[in-house]
Amino acid sequence: MAATSGGSSRKRTSAPRAELGASAPLYIDGDDVIPGEVIVTLKADAADAMTASVPIHPGGRGVSMADSLGVSGVDAVLARLGAYDITRLAPPSQGIARSVMALDGVPEPEESILGRSFRVRIDAKVAPDKAAAELDALDEVEVAEPNRWREASVIPDDPQFGAQWGLTKINAPDAWDVTKGSASVVVAVIDSGVDLDHPELAPLLVPGFDMVDLGPNPTPNPGWRFEGDFAGRDAIPEDEVGHGTHVAGTIAAVSNNAVGVAGVGWQTRIMPIKALTRVVRISDGRVSGTGSSADVAAAIRYAADNGAHVINMSLGSPSSTSVEASAVAYAVSKGVVVVAAMGNDGSSSPSFPAAYPDVIAVAAIQSNESRAAFSQTGPHIDISAPGVGILSTYLAGGLATMAGTSMASPHVAGVAALVKAVKPSLTATEIGDILRSTAKPLRDVASDPVPNDRYGWGLLDASAAVLKARGPIVLKPTITVKLRTPVVACVPRTITLPECGTIKTVLPLQCKKIKSIHIACPVTTTVTKVPTTVTGPGPGPQPGGADPFGVEQGDYEAGFAAGYAAAIEELQSGGGDAYGEGLFDE
């Protein structure tokens, strides 16, 4: 993902606001390296031989006491680099277990790789890339690399866009006929936190975490200053930027309550994980969110270990890191769907974490289904979603419109949660396949292939995705023959039709004194067409007998004469949770 690439003006309904976004990224000339920090991953044997006690990230507030790893060759170099404040990115795994897996030919799990990875703060005068190169050359080190900035992928937007056109564009209302989401499905929003008291979000929140740890004196690039909570980890992921709150409200919001906005999910739960803190451009007061790839990796691990089913990351920068890639792989191995924004610099350069394997990378479109000019392109795009003029929740209980691939990504994460609600047994890979295969193909010219480098597989389609996840309509109807005037010789009977998506049966009326046939069919899905025809001796179909109609809640009538046979056909289509019945009278 690209860094923030512009200021944001937006319309809000309440509370004062700061301008969100920046006309230039926090890093300079494409350099997204965090000054004074490196990430070191030890080889497995070296990690097992460590003698130092290193705190696990996330931890408490302030600086850790560790300034060495207890590996002599590595510690000598760390000392020369002025190392201090060393934290482990995940709990260490057991060396014996790794040895057994190696003998069995099983790849080492990503969990154990994170467990031997450390964020190391060094003398600010030492260039991180040179420090990493020196450490990387050591026999005990598997990889050493600079820590890198990750930034919110939001851009300026015209405040005239106030309606939630994006939900209609992705066919969310039709999807809601099938599911409005489930309280059992959790989406982790790894971002700038969430307005924890927002009335549209608070009832849907589950416990999260503030993962930001940039140290007691982080060094911003020239022209910027830190204003947010950048050094204290705790269980209060309060948003100081507004970006995470906006993203969360697109994924899920208290809906159908005549207040505020609707989210893609009405029941979906949100796990706010703060990985970006507030920074301000000194020249004009523009606000952005920024954090580190090490904190993002820890946030991904936290989400995967604490019950998240989907992760949304509307953040990124041009460079990858091994620990972040390992964290993504770990989450996917636990069945978590990982969704990320493509970035906003309009180029074809990859952005991370969107470009990692198994991440669903999301591009942005305008309301006319053309690519948003800022949306990055490239072969790793999976899908496109609305990303211009997106109205959602904001700080102080308010609303705002924003634009960016940051706004497109949560549409996809929200639909992934709907798909998971429909069929909880689906794996992360299966959910990704469903989203891609049901997307509406988009092309700039007719000859463009699908997928392509501008739209991926096309426009997200929530309705098609949940219908595919649910599979063919399965009805369990019964047909009950009833007498309006009871006759002993004509006993009512019930016929249970087979469970299948398309039902065809013929029910002959054997008793001439039968005045009606009552079709009692609990319809657990909305069936769009139910052609009913009547055949047999006599005058032919009666009024209503041949009319197709839609089944929703209520009773529907079609008449026929005694002695006729009713051919009943229910076609596979649609979805919902309505209950209805067909009533066929003389």
Token reading at 309? 């089913």
Residue type at 414 in one-letter notation: G
Please report how many Cα atoms fall inside a 13 Å half-sphere around the Cα of residue 236, on the Cβ side: 9
Going by C-beta distance under 8 Å and a sequence separation of 6 or more, which residues neighbour residue 368? none
* Residues 128 and 99 sit within 8 Å (Cβ to Cβ): no
Residue type at 167 in one-letter notation: L
Return d(Cα 183, Cα 180) in angstroms, integer: 10
Q: Which of 174, 191, 195, 229 is catalytic?
A: 191
R_g over Cα of the chain: 29
Reply yes or no on whether 246 is catalytic. Answer: no
Torsion, Cα 11 17 20 23, to 10 degrees, reads 90
**C-alpha pair distances (Å), 327 with each of 148, 426, 512:** 15, 21, 72
* Residues 48 and 116 sit within 8 Å (Cβ to Cβ): no
Q: Which of 8, 255, 317, 406 is catalytic?
A: 406
Reply yes or no on whether 516 is catalytic. Answer: no
Reply yes or no on whether 191 is catalytic. Answer: yes
**Number of CB atoms found within 10 A of residue 453's CB:** 15
Q: Which of 57, 243, 246, 380 is catalytic?
A: 243
DSSP state of 159: T
DSSP state of 580: E
Closest CA to 287 of 246, 342, 340: 246
Count the helix, strand and coil residues of the chain and give each as a percent rounded to the nearest 5. Answer: 20, 25, 55
Closest CA to 138 of 95, 54, 76, 48: 76
**C-alpha pair distances (Å), 133 with each of 38, 81, 142, 149:** 10, 12, 12, 19
Apex 183 CA angle, 413 and 471, nearest 5: 65
Catalytic residues: 191, 243, 406
